[in-house]
Amino acid sequence: MPGTLWAIAEAGPDGHLTKLSAEVATLVRGLGAAAGRDVAGLVTGTPGAVAAVAAELAAYLPRVVALEAAAAATSPIAQLAAQGAVQAIGADPDASIFIGNSPDGRDTAGFLMAALGVGVISNAGGVAWNGGPVAEKGVFGGRLITTSSFADGHGIVTVPLGSVPAEEAASAGVVETITLAGAAPTVTVLERVSEAAGAVQIEEAKIIVSGGRGVGGPDGFALVGLLAETLGGAVAASRAAVDAGWIPYARQVGQTGKIVKPEVYIALGISGAVQHKVGMQGAHTIVAVNTDPDAPIAEFADLFVVGNLFEVVPALVAELESRKA
Amino acid sequence: MKIVILAKPVPDATGQERLGPDLRLDRAAIPPVINGNDEYVLEAALRLRDAGAEVSVTLLAMAGAFGPDALRKGLAMGADNAYLVSDPALAGSDARTTARVLAAALAKLEFDLVLAGVDSSDGASGVVAAALASLSGLPYLSYATSITPDGDKVRIKRFSSTGYDVLEAPMPALVTGMQALGEPRYPTLRGIMGARSKTITTWALADLGIDPATVGADAAASRVSTFSIPDARSAARVVRDPAPEAAKQIVDFLIERRAI
């Protein structure tokens, strides 16, 4: 049926479907039901690996295309995924395409925009249907929410983490496998280096404990890590802490880092500049500990503790341990 | 080596940005700066020159009347010259049009590398560079935390969620970069004085052979229909007690919110 709604999914570093992809697939399934349109998913990977991810994606969608691309072993995935999407979507000028706004998702959206000549609505935190996708997005650091739609009712929508909770369909869908046609891209992956194997990814974490300038150094981050471990959460940081070299960039939350949407965000020694706020204001519950009672984070925290994190955090760890016991 | 930097003039993100009556960003209301991520790649290019490589650095932007003010700062940092695509018909153009216009501009320039920020602080869609690489037939290497030209190839470290990938491609190529490239320099007084005599060449759509009817707000694929102000979070509960008592209150609060 023309006008199919597509979810472009991706695998995470662990080889499994990402949480963001599961959310996008759930969103697309809901839109399809509202619009009376067919829905489908697409995931790209090496012939050896893609079948497993496609099966995970099929838990959310009635139809999944697994795109086997041998070049995925040695080339960045985004261009391949875009080529594959053009191939899978075929002649369907009314199709709309939904992609998580991860780095690879944004690259894929850019390639597809050029290949299909359609528009992109980016970072749509909420999507409804009214003759086409109607997207809500926060702008200016979340101070405003705008509503956008496509002039001709279809296009590409990139979706941030947390648009809808991921929810599997009542029954699993069918997977069809296709092979990528066309030449491989000229960009080669020489090496993939893992610096944080096994650590909880902050995009996936339900609880995040985040440190800023007030943490004071790598030793202070040991304390941040201790609280995160006690709560079963992940460690994150503000830009000031990353710039100081106390923690890797992959842990940075904010405008130039990651946008996260956990259940709980505990901000330790973070002032709460607008660039940081953009990255974490979607958290359900925000707890901040800061010595400065006038820190901007007081404006958007749910619980604001005026105090020294080097005293409060050990006390908090002790309190949590005593209640667990 | 010739490097072109895509340097987007954006409103300084001071929290004062607003929408105009047409529901588009009111770009005249806020002083323009070069987009932060574009400054990082400009810095990366200038460091290649500092390290002894023979490098020319050209800025390229598509912007309105406020464009030259922002570009002048990039010239003060050390870029050699700038090209500004500016045409009244371009106002309200979407990402799709921006990529097409920049591709037409790049076709008029000589370069080994095109560098751009991974996204801009205003639109933040992060899709223009990949589209531009595609339209211009350039290898695309994104999210660079380091950029190393080597002979007729370029090698980057690409940020990944667990570390980084090392990518390589033949030049000419398009690379997008980010904060991890390193803090941009401040212009020196001498740089600021020197920038006054550097050339900013302005191109109109006619110079690029683009039909004005195919760009701008009327040709945009999407439009904003309404806006609203989000519900404010309710005021924070403030705790000023000593640490052991504060810790109890944090745990109680998290339990009350069913967060743990």
- Interface pTM, i.e. ipTM: 0.92
Q: Are B237 and B253 in contact (CB under 8 A)?
A: yes
Task: List the single residue in B25, B124, B167 with the smallest CB-CB distance to A188.
Answer: B167
Lowest mean pLDDT among A111-115, A300-304, B8-12, B71-75: B8-12
CA distance A66 to A41: 8
Which residue does chain A place closest to B238, by CA atoms? Answer: A304
Task: List the single residue in A186, A263, A293 with the smallest CB-CB distance to B169.
Answer: A186
Given pLDDT bands bounded at 50, 70 and 90, which one contains residue A195? confident
Q: How far is CA A204 from CA A77, A162, A187, A190, A228, in A?
A: 21, 10, 29, 27, 14
Mutate to test the interface with A, among B214, B222, B249, B256 (most CBs of A within 10 A): B222
Which residue does chain A place closest to B227, by CA atoms? Answer: A146
Q: How far is B81 from chain A (nearest CA, A)?
A: 27
Tokens of A109: 């959206």
CB contact under 8 Å between A307 and B250, yes or no, is no
pLDDT at B29 over 80: no
- Assign 3-class secondary structure to chain B: CEEEEECCEEECCCCCCCECCCCCECCCCCCEEECHHHHHHHHHHHHHHHCCCCCEEEEEEECCCCHHHHHHHHHHHCCCEEEEECCHHHCCCCHHHHHHHHHHHHCCCCCCEEEEECCCCCCCCCCHHHHHHHHHCCCEEEEEEEEEEECCEEEEEEECCCEEEEEEEECCEEEEECHHHCCCCCCCHHHHHHHCCCCEEEECHHHHCCCHHHCCHHHCCEEEEEEECCCCCCCCEEECCCHHHHHHHHHHHHHHCCCC
Task: List the single residue in A285, A307, A312 with the smallest CB-CB distance to B259.
Answer: A285
Lowest mean pLDDT among A229-238, B18-27, B36-45: B18-27
Partners of B13 on chain A (C-beta within 8 Å) are 141, 255, 274-275
Task: List the single residue in A113, A140, A193 with the smallest CB-CB distance to B127.
Answer: A113
Lowest mean pLDDT among A199-208, A226-235, A245-254: A199-208
Task: List the single residue in B15, B243, B254 with the smallest CB-CB distance to A311.
Answer: B243
Q: How far is B192 from chain A (nearest CA, A)?
A: 27
Exposed/middle/buried for residue B206 (C-beta within 10 Å: 0-12, 13-18, 19+):
exposed
Domains of chain A by start residue, with CATH: 5-179 (3.40.50.620), 207-324 (3.40.50.1220)
Q: How far is B194 from chain A (nearest CA, A)?
A: 30
CB contact under 8 Å between A119 and B220, yes or no, is yes
User: What pLDDT sits at residue A197?
Assistant: 56
The whole-number average pLDDT for the span A156-175 is 95
CB contact under 8 Å between B243 and A308, yes or no, is yes
Could you count the other beta carbons within 10 Å of the beta carbon of residue A322? 11
CB contact under 8 Å between B130 and A285, yes or no, is no
Residue whose pair of structure tokens reads 């070049």 in the numeric block: A71
Omega before B172 within 30 of 0, i.e. cis:
yes
pLDDT at B15 over 70: no
Task: List the single residue in A117, A123, A195 with the smallest CB-CB distance to B162.
Answer: A195
Mutate to test the interface with B, among A21, A99, A106, A207 (most CBs of B within 10 A): A106
User: What pLDDT sits at residue A82?
Assistant: 97
User: What pLDDT sits at residue A53?
Assistant: 98
Tell me: the pLDDT tens digits for B92-135?
Answer: 999 999 999 999 999 999 999 999 999 998 888 999 999 999 99
CB contact under 8 Å between A315 and B125, yes or no, is no
CB contact under 8 Å between B140 and A187, yes or no, is yes
pLDDT at A233 over 70: yes
Partners of A293 on chain B (C-beta within 8 Å) are 238, 240
Q: How far is A293 from chain B (nearest CA, A)?
A: 9
Element (DSSP H or E) covering residue A41: strand A39-45
pLDDT at A237 over 70: yes
Residue A172 or residue B162, greater confidence: A172
Q: Domain locations in chain B?
A: 2-219
The whole-number average pLDDT for the span A232-260 is 90
Q: Are A127 and A99 in contact (CB under 8 A)?
A: no
Q: Give the CATH number of domain B2-219; options: 3.40.50.300, 3.40.50.620, 3.90.1010.10, 3.90.550.10.
A: 3.40.50.620
Q: How far is CA A40 from CA A24, A31, A200, B35, in A?
A: 11, 12, 30, 37
User: What pLDDT sits at residue A319?
Assistant: 96
pLDDT at A198 over 70: no
The whole-number average pLDDT for the span B209-228 is 93
